[in-house]
Structure 1
């Protein structure tokens, strides 16, 4: 079925802001959390199949896409509260949660703090701040853009007027040169064009110290009891699995070969081959 005919978008009030959420289908809920530089449409190639058996809920993260350009609240705890508020607003007591990149830390924190809301958890292509297990990945230092994005006011000043080239670099690199569909490419570029849009995007990085503390405290206080799947590709590989293994009771790890960072757009069929049976499993 054509994606746009099966999905409607609405704005919902959560945690003091308005969030844009794409919703469609029926059945057990699946909450999809995107990363940078994405909108909910990073899931475009997998949503049609998920709609066959699930109610799909795919928000634009705080400050990104068509969601409100919030002044603050970009730390992981607030993003997790946003996610829980979306479930509340849509009348879903629980959901399977699938996240990539910047969506991973709030999904992880939600599952730790509110385990009754997360039936199953799928995390891909990200790291969980300072949690142990990813030392090899960080041996050469974090990715270069982490520092660039964290300096207050710098990146948006440098990039204003050059957003298409910058976002395009991440989309090409994140698919190992294969690129993304043109309509999705254009959607992403529009979503990150303008100083305020860039400010919101980089605010996620600038909240890293608070987010790191929140992740450490939550991981020290509780464990993931629900089934968890870690999916890696290039460049994160199995680093996320390494961080999850000490805190997850039921963890499965997978690596997708010849796949870039943006797994849902680069290798959607391979991703669905992992997601479909995992999401169909018992709660």
Structure 2
């Protein structure tokens, strides 16, 4: 079921962004859509919402129907009690495509959205026409040993302890999110209105609990990815984009799994690629998504 929402005031006049609510897999997802043409799904990570893609939606919508949901528990989507593993998130996405009448789509994902996008492509290759993934790790798949030589990033363990991070951070959400936004753009920061939207989306114990539930579900997501890879790899064209700090790690993890893989590194770019280097990202996405 799709419930129509509002047009956003600052959208491109030729391709306005519409916010809708879509019932899927036991939740309601808030989904931004724009444009017409072959569908492209954009999946954000932490600490983002669909507004991570603000700089690229307009240009993509000139040729595509852009579908950018708030992931389960994030932004205006349902703050579900559970279901933060990659398999459940992939099922959420399938339901969104069903509700919008799209049997297939290209899927573009970053950070926490990558395991779900990859798992959907592995489990349902008939639904994913092309796959673009960036700045993430894929569970325990080989290839990330060098990146993890000194252990995973510090916040993975902090977020993984049930109840800890959301208790400690109450009242300090803005400072915490600002650290990720600055680090993720190598100090350049993000537009003030997007920064404010991210902070609002992650303020309060329930918002934080949902965000950290992604990290607490990482072991389950890793098992799901291992099982899916054991049954077969990725046959669709796949593009792995790296920046700082993940670099080529994701490409290395995918190299034995994807039969048609292209890797690309964006120089002098922070982790939050769509906001730090949107034009460089578009220079890669537009031609890749245009191919049949």
User: Under a length normalisation based on structure 1, what TM-score does the superposition of the two structures give?
Assistant: 0.98
How far 1:234 sits from its partner (Å)? 0.1
Tell me whether 1:196 sits opposite 2:206 in the alignment.
yes
Match of 1:186 in 2: 196
Question: Does the CA-based 8 Å contact 1:9-1:20 persist in structure 2?
Answer: yes
Question: Does the CA-based 8 Å contact 1:3-1:44 persist in structure 2?
Answer: no
Question: Does the CA-based 8 Å contact 2:75-2:201 persist in structure 1?
Answer: yes
Select the residue among 3, 7, 31 that pairs with 2:11.
3
SS at the partner of 1:123? Answer: strand
Match of 1:149 in 2: 159
Q: How many residues align?
A: 282
For 1:118 and 1:24, the matched residues in 2 are separated by 19
Tell me whether 1:116 sits opposite 2:126 in the alignment.
yes
For 2:11 and 2:193, the matched residues in 1 are separated by 12
Moved beyond 6 Å, runs of 4+: none
For 1:261 and 1:146, the matched residues in 2 are separated by 16
Question: Does the CA-based 8 Å contact 2:34-2:57 persist in structure 1?
Answer: no
Ranges in structure 1 where 5+ consecutive residues have no aligned partner: none
For 2:178 and 2:161, the matched residues in 1 are separated by 22
**1:85-110 superposed Cα distances (whole Å, 9 cap, x missing partner):** 11001100000000000000000000
SS at the partner of 1:178? Answer: coil
* Superposed counterparts of 1:1-283, under 5 Å: 2-3=10-11, 6-282=16-292
Question: Does the CA-based 8 Å contact 1:43-1:264 persist in structure 2?
Answer: yes
Ranges in structure 2 where 5+ consecutive residues have no aligned partner: 1-8
Question: Does the CA-based 8 Å contact 1:32-1:99 persist in structure 2?
Answer: yes
**1:54-104 superposed Cα distances (whole Å, 9 cap, x missing partner):** 000000000000000100001110000011111001100000000000000
